[in-house]
Every structure is written in structure tokens, then in C-alpha cells.
């Protein structure tokens, strides 16, 4: 299984301690909605908050492309927002969102990642 797939699966299951083997201590994760992080502990905290707000959070990997030290994944993210997260109001609303994740690896661990997500679709659903 790819590093990016293992990272997302560990996050979904709430096993943020597995991040120690998957991400560098000084990892930088560029994420929408003000959820970017600049170290391992901050990334763990974002995932803790995400799984508290969305206990059924799932990242379903559609495909992974790997070349050299880069892994890219096309992902479908689903869950139910039981409380506010990342500027999106909760209220028990289910969602489905497309996402692309691009990771630069160093020594088999993620050194930097970019999460590109269709967060606009979350706002559209919130207003409907």
C-alpha cells in the first residue's frame, strides 16, 4: 500500500500515532480551509479534530500514481459533519467531496503534502 493511502487510512481510523512512521517531524501539509500544518504534532491534532467532528470520515482512494519521490492520489472523501470543522457548519449533514493529494516523500516518509479538495461543494450543500 502506498504511503499516502496508509496516511489517509490511519487518519480515518483515528490512529494518528501511526503518523510517526509515515510523516516527518517537520512535515508541511498544505490544506484548504485554514487546516494547513507545519509539523507532525499539528497534523495529528487536525486529524483528531476531524474525526471528532466526523466520526465516519473516510478517504476512499480511487487511484495512486507514483513516480520517484512523489505519490499522487485521487480520493473521494465522505462523512457526516456532526459539528463544525474547517469553517463548515455541522448539524449532522452528510457530504461527498472529491480530493487530490500530492505527497513528496523523503526516505519513505511524507515530507510535504498538498490537499486539493472541492470544498466549494460543502458550502453549496450547507446553503441548500
**Least confident interval from 18-27, 103-112, 119-128:** 119-128
Give the tens place of pLDDT for each residue, 56-97.
Answer: 999 999 999 999 999 999 999 999 999 999 988 888 989 999
Position 123 confidence tier, pLDDT thresholds 50, 70, 90: low
Round to whole Å and give the CA distance between 1 and 82: 30
What is residue 126's predicted lDDT score, i.e. its pLDDT?
A: 46
What is the Cα–Cα distance from 76 to 87, expressed in whole angstroms? 20
* pTM given for the model: 0.92
Please say if the pLDDT value at position 128 is more than 70: no
C-alpha cell at 123: 458550502
Domain 3-127 has CATH 3.10.450.50: yes
Q: How far apart are CA 112 and CA 39, in angstroms?
A: 10
* pLDDT of the residue at 45: 98
Where do the structural domains in the chain lie, given as residue ranges? 3-127
Residue 26, pLDDT above cutoff 70: yes
Give residue-wise pLDDT tens across range 96-121. 999 999 999 999 999 999 999 988 77
Amino acid at each position: 500500500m502506498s504511503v499516502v493511502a496508509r496516511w489517509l487510512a490511519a487518519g480515518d481510523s483515528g490512529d494518528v500515532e501511526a503518523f510517526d512512521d509515515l510523516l516527518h517531524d517537520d512535515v508541511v501539509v498544505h490544506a484548504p480551509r485554514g487546516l494547513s500544518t507545519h509539523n507532525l504534532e499539528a497534523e495529528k491534532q487536525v486529524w483528531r479534530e476531524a474525526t471528532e467532528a466526523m466520526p465516519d470520515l473516510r478517504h476512499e482512494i480511487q487511484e495512486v500514481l507514483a513516480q520517484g519521490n512523489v505519490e499522487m492520489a485521487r480520493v473521494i472523501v465522505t462523512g457526516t459533519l456532526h459539528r463544525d470543522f474547517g469553517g463548515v457548519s455541522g448539524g449532522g449533514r452528510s457530504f461527498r467531496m472529491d480530493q487530490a493529494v500530492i505527497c513528496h516523500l523523503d526516505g519513505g516518509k511524507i515530507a510535504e503534502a498538498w490537499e486539493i479538495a472541492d470544498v466549494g461543494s460543502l458550502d453549496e450543500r450547507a446553503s441548500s
